[in-house]
Each structure stands twice: as C-alpha cells, then as structure tokens.
Structure 1
Amino acid sequence: MTRLARLEAWLLRRAAPLGHPRAPARAAVIVPLLCGLLSLAMGQDDGWDMRNYHLYNVYALLNGRLGVDLSPAGFQTYFNPMLDVPYYLVTHWFPAPVAGFVFGALHGLAFVLVAAIARVLVGEGRLAMLLAVAGIMSAAFLSELGNSMGDNLTALLVLASVYSLLRHWERLAQRDASGLLLSAGAVMGLGLGLKLTNVSYAMGACVALLTVAATPWVRVRTAFVYGVGVLAGMAATAGYWMFHMWSRFGNPLFPQFNNLFHSPMASELGVLDEGHLPRNAKEALLWPFVFSGNMSRIAEVPIQQIIWPLLYSAVIAWALGAVLRRVRGGGHPGLAPRGVFLLVFAAVAYVVWVRLFSIYRYLAPLELLAPLLFWLLVHTLACADYARRLAGWLLLAASVAVLPFTTWGHAGWAEQAFSADTPAIEQPQHAVIFQASQDSPMGWLAQFMPREAAVVGLGSGFPESPAYVQHRQDIIAQRGGPHYIMFPLATDQRATGMQRKTAIARTLGLTDSEAGCRKLEWLTAHVRMKAQVERGAAGGCTLALQPQYRKDTASEDRAMEVEAARRLRYVGLAYDPASCANYHAAVGTQPYPYRMCKAGPLP
C-alpha cells in the first residue's frame, strides 16, 4: 500500500464521523461557532476601509451629516451605509469582542449554505460537508472573517438565493413558480442593494435561469420574474439611499457612473477604481493564471490561493470535452441540469467581475462555491473513482495553499472598539475641521469631533468638479471660522507589537534575570521575531526591534505636515504651527494619534 493510499485511508477514517445522520445538524452549529472563536482570536477589525468609511457613513446617516460634512471618506462617503449599520451598532452597544464573535459566527453560516447547496447537487452528507469546509477554506472568505467589509455578509444572501433556486429546480418552469422566483430574486436583490458589487451574481443568476428545461418563452419568463424580484429586493435595501442621492446630487449612484448621470458635483467618470482590471485581451483570457501569479494585481494584501487556476482549467477541459462529446455523439455524461445552472451562474458572474471590478474580495461568494463546482466538473472528465481521488487531493491542496491566510488588518482587543480624544475648539457652530491624510484614513474620527463643526476632506480622492470646489469654498465662507486642520501622526505597528512581546516575556519572568535574558537571546536567534535583546543598565533586559525594522516616525510626521500645508493652500488657508496639539485615538489597542492645528487665511 503506497504512502498516498495510506494517507487517504487515514483521512477517510478521520472523516467517518461526518457520515452520522446527525452530523450535518451538528456541523451547522459547530462550524459557525468555530468561525466566531477564530474571529475572536484574530482580534479587533482594523481595516483601511473600516477606518475610512464603514464607521463614518453610519455616523453620518444617524446624525444627519450629509448636508454638513463634505467627503471626509473620499468618494466612499456617499456609499449606501445600510450594510454597515449592524456593525456600527454592535460595536457601540456592546464590548468590542462581542462584535468580533458575533460577526465571525454570522459569516460562518456560509458553511451551512454551501453544504446545503452541495447536498442538492451531490447528495451525500459527508461529501457535502467536506466541500463546504473546502469552500470556507478560501482566501477571500478567511481574509474577511468577522470584519466589517461586507463581502462575507452579503455572500450569505447570494448563496441563499442560489440554494432556493437549486432546491426547487423542477418547479421553476411551472406557472405557479412566480412566488418562488420572486422571493429568491428578492433575497439576491437584498444583497445587491447592500453592496452593488454583487451585480455580477444577480446577472449570473438571471442568465443561468435561461437553462431551465422549458420552451424559450418560459425560460425568458422565468429569468424575468426572478429579475423583478432582484429589483424589489434592491429597492428594499438601497432604494431610500439611491433616491436620497438622486434628490441631492442628481445621481443615484453618486459619484460613480457620473459619465451616465452627469451630476455637476463630480467629474464625468464611471467606475472610480479601475486599477485592478486586466491590461489587454490576452491578460483577460488568462486572468486566473495571471492574478494567481501576482495577487497584488487584484488585492491590496498578500493573499495566496490556487483554486482559481484549478477551476479555470477544469472549465476549459469540460468545454473541450463537451465539444468532443457532441462531435462523437456520446461519451462520458456531462453535467446534470442543476450543475449546468451553477456553471453558467459562475461563468457569467466571473465575466462581469472581470469586466467591472477585478477586485479579489468581490469574488467571495463565488470562491465559496468554487470547490463544489470543481468537484462536479472533474467528475464529468473521468470515471468516478479516479475523479474522486483527483478532485479530493487537489481541493485539499487548494485549502492548504491559503495558509497562513492574510487579513485586512487587526488590532488587539479593548473594551471599546474605537476611542479618541475630542478636541476643544472655539465656536464649533462656525468651525470647519479639514482632514488631510495619506496612508491612514481619518473618516472614522469624525464621530469624535464636536457635532456642531463641519468636517471636510482635503485631497481625499473624491473626483472633484468645479461645482464641488465651489461648494467647498462656500462652506468655508458661510461658516466664517475658526478653521482647523487635522492629520495623522505616524505610528510604528512593529514597535507596538514588540511592546506586546516584551510584556509577554516580562510576564513569563524572562526579563529580570540573567538566565531569562539568555533564553530570550536564544529565542531571538532561532525564531524570526525581528527582535534583539537589549540589556539594562541596572540589570535585566528587554526586547527591541532590530535596527533594519525600525521606522523613522519623525520624518514621516514632517512629510505629513508638509502635505497638510500644501492641501490647505489649495483652499486659501495656512495653519499656525504654534497652535498644534497632539491627541490620542485608537482602534482596539492599536494607537492612531492625530495632530490638530488652527488655520487661517494665507498671509
């Protein structure tokens, strides 16, 4: 018996409990709880988008800031805030770790939905659960587990809609299926309204419904009724906001797609983030191989995965096999009707994603289904026993390949998820607080400013138009002052991490004795900690960053001051260095201090 066969037998024995009749129900509880615990272990959400607009947009909605502030979070200031309301409220009403666990467990429900979809398509309970485990062992899902970015949350609605269609597949072409189609479409539409990047999945489902076994007219009617449901669901979660944007700016998607709506308050641009798209037709055709070789093309964090080249290759092989079967008039059977629906759904959603976004995290719903679709395709290419082994080992490799997975940023837990000093400013009802930042967004800090003051972003990435610039100058003139500029102070996250490691070493008694210090020296020499041991004058020792990893925060602060001054000059103001004061702010235990200075007319 070969080593591979022995390993396979060992894995099958370990998976044997999944064959118990109650295993699916138990897993439906245990896996989401484990996801909640993993989210707790990772720490407080500290992502760039969260600090830029996820918190600010809800704060602005609940406090009527849209007519007071001006793009503190750049063009994302005007995104639909409904998706972020639950996270904002939970982090404000409960201790921060509660939010981490709740959202991690909520995201873990993706396992339950993928397993349900898999049972419809492959039947066996154990296999369905293993494919669902492979689904959540995906780079996009794990990178966002428990955080506020929204892709995992809206993936639940996408998956629920797909499950509803697959479960009732035989009924979809019947005359009495309109209610079912409308409800499934409405669930998809809820996700689309909350996050418009789900448009690829709504389009994918509508096109895939054209594969139902019926006359062409019935197929079109089925897709149309589902589409009506999508629009209804979208209206429920985005209708109010789109109407609000239309009434105020003349663009329901403001400021995006302004080349279609022509709002005077923004430039004539379409999708505002096109930096991740393929550069030419050849790249687009080979895109899964291209971005898998260089994930920085579609992701801002170093994600790693191999599932997309595997799935893309399987799709190509299936397509070639389908052509050969048609030419030869027989051969190995192809996909069942439900499998065809899933394949068309995935293919259309993927093509729309490539054309509009090519941002990796928007693939989260599709990546959750990728192992299941890969399994189905491989089984059309080979006999069952060989396909089972090949697909099983490749999916195991794909699951392991994402480890260790990368996230979008976490901090240590504190009782309060977000904290900051509120500066005392003069005449806040007449004040304008300008925010200027580069790498560290400051939108989240607006909620800690005096409520009477207006908060205005400078150089925030908003596609400015002449009317926008004039509106900003009107705010300055109408309020009259005083005016302030706030900008972030540089922080060294590695130094903060080293302080935590030193605290652990101190707790373990390794910093107070010669023996303990020698153990630390051995540890830093054999483990990649980016640390060195420094001896104290009075005895004992501490951990410090190695020189090559130390950050010159003073020079970064000077550069930020220069940039802030440049942006102020653009609006006819200058700040007084003598008036500057530093303030504390933090996400969890991660400090984000900022400086505020008084500004006045240029001399």
Structure 2
Amino acid sequence: MKNLLPFLHKFLSNWETQKGKSWLHNNYFLAGILCLLTGLMSFIQGWHVSFDLMNYQYYNNYAWLNNVLEYHFSPGQVQSFHNPLLWLPYYLSIRHLPTPLTGFLIGLPQGLNLFLIYWISTKVFPGARVIHILSIAMAMISPMYTFELGSFAGDNICSIFVLAALTVVVKIKESSCRINARATLIKWLFCGLLIGIASGLKLTNLTFLIPIPIVLFIQTYLSSRKTKIAFYLRQTLLPIAFLIFGFVLGFLCTSGLWMYFLYSRYENPLFPYYNAIFKSEYFQPINLKYDRWIPDGFIEGIKYVWFWLVGKDEQTTWHWFPYRDAKWFLFWLLLLFLAILKLFRLYRYSYGQSNLSENNIASWRTDFSYFLVLYSAIGFTIWLYQFGYIRYLLPLDIIAGIVLFFIIEEIVKELRCNILYRQYFLVRLTQVLLVICLAITSTNYSRIGNFLDWPQDWFGVQVPSLTNVESSMILMYSRLPYSYIVPYFPVTTQFVRFDNNMESLIASTRFPETRESMIQNHTGPFYGIFPTHHLSNETELEEEVVRINASLGVRGMTLSLDECIPMMSNIHEFRICPITLSD
C-alpha cells in the first residue's frame, strides 16, 4: 500500500503521455466508432415516438414536400409553421425505410457530438487520455443526451454545428495570427456560419452565438494594457462583424426559403414568432414565448441549480419528466471558488507577494480553456432567462464535463499541491469519482425497449374505408398531437384543425376567416375525427361528441356517434364520423 500511489501515478502518466499510433489518435476511426455506438444504442432502445413527432415533425415535411401547406389548416397546431428542414431525414427514413434501420440511422449522426467533445478535450487537456475518455463519459451521462439519443427532437443534431463552431474557436486561439488578420477573420466567419446553420434549423440555437462576442471582448480587454475603449473596439468589431455575417449566411442557408414562404403568405418571416415586430394580420401582435420555466428574477435563477441538484422542487419538472443533475450546481460553486482564488493571487501579485509571471497571467486571460469557461457561464445565463427549458441547453450540457475538469485542475494549481503523485493521482481520482457520482445521481432517460419487436410501420395508421375520401374535408378536434395520421390519407384529402393550441392567439385576426372560407368553399363530403384512447368510458365519449357538435352547430353541421367508425394506429385510437350538413 505504501508504494501504491507512486505506482499509479507512474502508470497513468506514462499511459497518458506515451507517443505512437493509437485508435484514440485516429480521428476518423474514433468518429466512426462513436457514431456506430450511438446508432446501436438507438436501435437497442427500440421504437420511439414523442409529442413533437406526433404533432408536427412528421406532418410538416409531408405538407412541405406535397405542397399542401396552404391546402390544410394547421394540423400540427401552432408548430405547423416551424421550419421542417431539420426533420426531413427523419421523415424520409420513416416513410421509406424499415423501422429497425430507421431506429439505427436516427442515432448514427448523434455520435458526432461525442467525437467533437473528445476533440475539444484534447485541446484543453493535451495528452491527458484519461480526461479525454472521461469527457465522453460525462457527455453520455447527461440527462438530456440520454433522453434525446435515438429520438427525433433535433437538439442533438443542431448541437453538432454548435460544437463544430467551438472547434473553429480552438483553431483561432491556436493561431499565431493577429485577431483581425485575414485568416483569422475567415475562421470567425466560418464559426458564425456553423451556428447560423444550427439557428436556421432551430431558432433556439441563437443562444449559442451571443456569448462569443462578449467573451471575445472580455479576453481582448484582459490581454492588453491599453486603457482606451477605442482600442478594444478596433480589435473586436471586425471579428464580430465577420462572425455575424457568417451567422446570417448560415441562417439563410437553412431557413431562407422557409422564411420567404412565411413572409409571402403570412407577412412575417418568422411567423408566428416576434409578431410584435412584424405585425402579421394572421396572429396577435405579440412576441410568442413559452415562459413556463423562465425564473422570476435573479434569486429565483440562483435557486434553479439547487433545484436540479436535489430534484425535489416543481421547477425540476421540464415537460412531464422529473429532472435531476448536479453538474451545474458544481459548475457555479467551483467557478466561484476558482474566481476567489484567482483574485486573491492577483492581489498578492500586485503587492509582490506572489511569483505569478506575466506569461501565466496572459495564458488564463486569452486561451481557449478560459474562453470555454466564460462561454459556458454566459451562455447558461442567457439560456436561463430566455428559455429555461433544459432541452435547449444541450450543447452546453454535454460540454460541461470538460469545463468542470478544467476548473478542478485550475483550483488544484492555485492551491499549489506540489507533491507530484498526489497532485496527479488525486486530481484524476476526483474527476473519475465525479463522473461516477453524476452517473448515479443524475436522471437517466434511456429507454430499453424491445429491439426485437419493431412495428412494421412506424405509426401503423389504419385508415378505414370512407366514401369519397379523396374529395373530403376532415375536421380535426382535440388538442392532442396526431397530425401524423395525415400522410396516410390521399394527398387530396383536406384537413382543418380545431381545438388547437393557438385558438386564443388567432382570435380577431384573419386566420379564423381563412378557416371559415376553406369550409364554406368546400364542395365534397365532411368528416370529423377525434382521439378516444384517453376517454375512459362511454359517458366521456358522448360528452366529447356533444362538445364537438357545439362547435359544428355554429356552422350548420352535426355528427352522430352511431355513425362513427373506429380508426387505429400504433399510438392512438380514433373515431372518424361523417358530418351532416343542415338544410
């Protein structure tokens, strides 16, 4: 036991620093292995559906590709106007490939997140193979990563572009060029391009652009002794301009056509969002925002990380699942401790009581590791008060492991643990134990399904025989997500949604007029459809029909429960009923 720690120190340090070819050093091989791993994990988790997939992700691409976006009236509710491009590969695979293969392919590209985490860790911790592996492990045990692995949410696809943008920042920090040199400016443009692509696919990724110019300005300020603000503006404005220009290009690449369609049809390129600015006549003049999880003030925001640590407060519930994760509590706690140590050391240095060198000061003012710390802290704060919805934090959530490991090592350096084997081995032991503790205590959303029993069709909608269904209009009732049924009907069948989640938001606008005009101009048969799986007995079924008839009666229509036909899918049960027009 006496010689155990020195032995472990020697073994680990030799393993971490040994040179030569290794599968960890072959980037293409490692990326392929990690992608195959996540694809296999996605397959093992089995068949999966989500609210968003049932509500709009599948339908939106069908409507887009078949040019029926205006022919229907928002079957996907307010989300019918989301850019469908992100979910296009999912739609095509569900539509045309066997379901087990689709399950595997869903997870395949998500492994690129793990590879980018590994690559960034090699730059923050050169030669530290233990940390590289632990960084991948920390990303994999993130509750949101396990939840979205093998799902259709899309956040873990957009995160690939965000993490790739951070790798460009690494290259900029490694470069010996001046901050506004041509080669550096091109890299800033490419960095903005990548985040713009992610934001065009999903607007919430704009959160990850805003911290970059803030951190750039902070590090430029700290790395220079100039006192005039004009100097810092000259040094940062041009890189920020290239960053923003690249962002706009990337955003237009993935969202330009969709924005043009929305503007030409609904007078708002981001419809229905930011309508207080664009003032479309089809929506209330408000900036639509889902603020359920946004903290009310500074103190409430501080409480959030504690809520996530203990997992006992109502704010730990994002959507309908519980949530527990300690790493953000540890992040802020350790970051505060490190900041105190740094300030104390600078204080001693200013009075000649510390041997801190100018090179040491410059390194933690300018290098990528501290860029990543500041980027995470600022990005988290912006996300918390803009969304507070944990899914939208995914890129920062899976990179938090690297940041935590770096903060731990910086704290150890500041505390001056100079006994070599204790410094090295105890730091690594602390980092390993951190991963183990987080793996045990964090919420695990992984789904172990029956991967040997995939359905033949992803949704399995069985459309019953209906009279003249090709020329029919089907009125959809209930706020439950079920627009996935639309592609199973003939493309000429028209769908009009009632009871959707934007009824109060389109009151007194042109949208209700559009819907009524569609109904009045229709000359074929009418049907009504509504889900019944959530109705526990015949009485509730009859009450649902009465409620629907109250809406139909205003339009001179009625439906009879006796004439309703059951319709089944792998997920829901429905009743579809012929609608009778009053004379």
- Could you tell me the TM-score, scaled by structure 1's length? 0.81
**What amino acid maps onto 1:242 in structure 2?**
M
Q: 1:326-350: per-residue Cα shift (whole Å, max 9, x none)?
A: 3333588674621221122212221
CA–CA distance in structure 2, aligned partners of residues 149 and 34 of structure 1: 19
Indicate which of 161, 168, 188 corresponds to 2:172.
Answer: 168
CA–CA distance in structure 1, aligned partners of residues 116 and 537 of structure 2: 47
* Residue matched to 2:401: 371
Equivalenced residue count is 534
The reply to whether residue 240 of structure 1 matches residue 257 of structure 2 is yes
* Residue matched to 1:465: 507
210-219 vs 235-244, which moves further: 210-219
The reply to whether residue 73 of structure 1 matches residue 61 of structure 2 is no
* Residue matched to 1:220: 237
SS of 1:485 mapped into structure 2: strand
Indicate which of 546, 559, 562 corresponds to 1:575.
Answer: 559
CA–CA distance in structure 2, aligned partners of residues 69 and 93 of structure 1: 24
The alpha-carbon deviation at position 553 of structure 1 amounts to 5.9
CA–CA distance in structure 2, aligned partners of residues 263 and 394 of structure 1: 51
**What amino acid maps onto 1:325 in structure 2?**
R
Label 1:111 to 1:454 Cα distance change in 2 as closer, same or farther (>3 A).
Answer: same
Label 1:9 to 1:578 Cα distance change in 2 as closer, same or farther (>3 A).
Answer: farther
Indicate which of 556, 578, 583 corresponds to 1:598.
Answer: 578
The alpha-carbon deviation at position 458 of structure 1 amounts to 1.1
Label 1:167 to 1:415 Cα distance change in 2 as closer, same or farther (>3 A).
Answer: farther
Q: Percent identity between the aligned chains?
A: 23
* Residue matched to 2:528: 485
Native 8 Å contact 1:69 1:454 kept in 2: yes
SS of 2:209 mapped into structure 1: helix
Q: 1:25-56: per-residue Cα shift (whole Å, max 9, x none)?
A: 35433332121111111112211110001101
CA–CA distance in structure 2, aligned partners of residues 42 and 558 of structure 1: 38
* Residue matched to 1:258: 275
The reply to whether residue 381 of structure 1 matches residue 417 of structure 2 is no
CA–CA distance in structure 2, aligned partners of residues 366 and 572 of structure 1: 54
SS of 1:381 mapped into structure 2: helix
156-165 vs 452-461, which moves further: 452-461
* Residue matched to 2:96: 93
* Residue matched to 1:352: 382
SS of 2:72 mapped into structure 1: coil
The alpha-carbon deviation at position 282 of structure 1 amounts to 1.4
**What amino acid maps onto 1:315 in structure 2?**
L
Label 1:348 to 1:100 Cα distance change in 2 as closer, same or farther (>3 A).
Answer: same
CA–CA distance in structure 2, aligned partners of residues 403 and 444 of structure 1: 30
SS of 1:382 mapped into structure 2: helix
Aligned Cα RMSD in Å?
A: 3.0
The alpha-carbon deviation at position 70 of structure 1 amounts to 0.9
The alpha-carbon deviation at position 279 of structure 1 amounts to 2.9
Native 8 Å contact 1:39 1:100 kept in 2: yes
**What amino acid maps onto 1:132 in structure 2?**
I
* Residue matched to 1:206: 213
CA–CA distance in structure 1, aligned partners of residues 539 and 450 of structure 2: 25
**What amino acid maps onto 1:476 in structure 2?**
I
* Residue matched to 1:421: 462
* Residue matched to 2:518: 475
Q: 1:348-371: per-residue Cα shift (whole Å, max 9, x none)?
A: 221221122111111111111000
Q: Which runs of 5+ in 1 are unaligned?
A: 492-550
The reply to whether residue 122 of structure 1 matches residue 137 of structure 2 is no
CA–CA distance in structure 1, aligned partners of residues 445 and 138 of structure 2: 14
Indicate which of 456, 469, 493 corresponds to 2:496.
Answer: 456
* Residue matched to 1:308: 328
CA–CA distance in structure 1, aligned partners of residues 109 and 239 of structure 2: 31
Indicate which of 426, 433, 436 corresponds to 1:393.
Answer: 433
CA–CA distance in structure 1, aligned partners of residues 383 and 539 of structure 2: 41
- Could you tell me the TM-score, scaled by structure 2's length? 0.84
475-484 vs 160-169, which moves further: 475-484
207-216 vs 360-369, which moves further: 207-216
CA–CA distance in structure 2, aligned partners of residues 308 and 553 of structure 1: 46
**What amino acid maps onto 1:442 in structure 2?**
Y
CA–CA distance in structure 1, aligned partners of residues 203 and 320 of structure 2: 20
Label 1:403 to 1:358 Cα distance change in 2 as closer, same or farther (>3 A).
Answer: closer
Label 1:600 to 1:38 Cα distance change in 2 as closer, same or farther (>3 A).
Answer: same
SS of 1:256 mapped into structure 2: coil
Label 1:109 to 1:475 Cα distance change in 2 as closer, same or farther (>3 A).
Answer: same
The alpha-carbon deviation at position 426 of structure 1 amounts to 4.2
Native 8 Å contact 2:93 2:102 kept in 1: yes
Native 8 Å contact 1:325 1:331 kept in 2: no
Indicate which of 466, 479, 484 corresponds to 1:444.
Answer: 484
* Residue matched to 2:420: none
CA–CA distance in structure 2, aligned partners of residues 410 and 365 of structure 1: 29
Native 8 Å contact 1:201 1:349 kept in 2: yes
SS of 1:358 mapped into structure 2: coil
Structure possessing the higher relative contact order (Cα contacts under 8 Å, 6 or more residues apart) = 2
**What amino acid maps onto 2:181 in structure 1?**
R
73-82 vs 164-173, which moves further: 164-173
Q: 1:361-387: per-residue Cα shift (whole Å, max 9, x none)?
A: 111111110000111112222245454
Q: 1:85-125: per-residue Cα shift (whole Å, max 9, x none)?
A: 01111222211111211221210111110010111111125
Native 8 Å contact 2:323 2:443 kept in 1: no
Label 1:193 to 1:331 Cα distance change in 2 as closer, same or farther (>3 A).
Answer: farther
58-67 vs 97-106, which moves further: 97-106
SS of 1:347 mapped into structure 2: helix
The alpha-carbon deviation at position 473 of structure 1 amounts to 0.9
* Residue matched to 1:108: 111
480-489 vs 358-367, which moves further: 480-489
